[in-house]
Amino acid sequence: MIEIADFHRVEMRVGRILAAEEFPEARHPAWKLRIDFGPDLGEKRSSAQITNYTREQLEGSLVVAVVNFPPRQIGPVRSEVLVLGAVSDVHPVLLVRPDAGSQPGDRVA
């Protein structure tokens, strides 16, 4: 169990995927993403194992990401945010998506 204060320290924001590039150097299949989080946070990069989505399905779409974890080096990519998805043994990673009307930079609480 965690306290509500612990949850509030996790900063989740809405972002718009600007570009999804192939990432052949990744140990597990993944995309390299450039994501816009609005004027306060700007663009961030991420590596995401969401290969059940095509580039066309990703680019321009809204996602939710944790933006206050320290960056991680994943091969040649510095991943600055953690894109959130539902994980199970039954299906591939399914992205957590905000409803229409959400804007890049909106806080998720």
pLDDT: is 42 or 100 the higher one? Answer: 42
**What is the C-alpha to C-alpha distance for residues 39 and 105, in angstroms, rounded to an integer?**
7
- What is the C-alpha separation between 35 and 20, in angstroms, rounded? 9
Amino acid, res. 40 = D
**What is the pTM (predicted TM-score) of this model?**
0.93
Which position has the higher pLDDT, 80 or 74? 80
CATH class of the 4-100 domain in this structure: mainly beta
Q: Is 22 helix (H, G, I), strand (E, B) or coil?
A: strand
pLDDT digits (tens, 9 = 90+) for 39-67: 999 999 999 999 899 999 999 999 999 99
- In angstroms, the CA 42 to CA 62 distance is 15
What share of the chain in percent tops pLDDT 90? 81
Beta bridge partners of 31: 22, 48
The structural domains of the chain, with segments of one domain joined by +, span 4-100
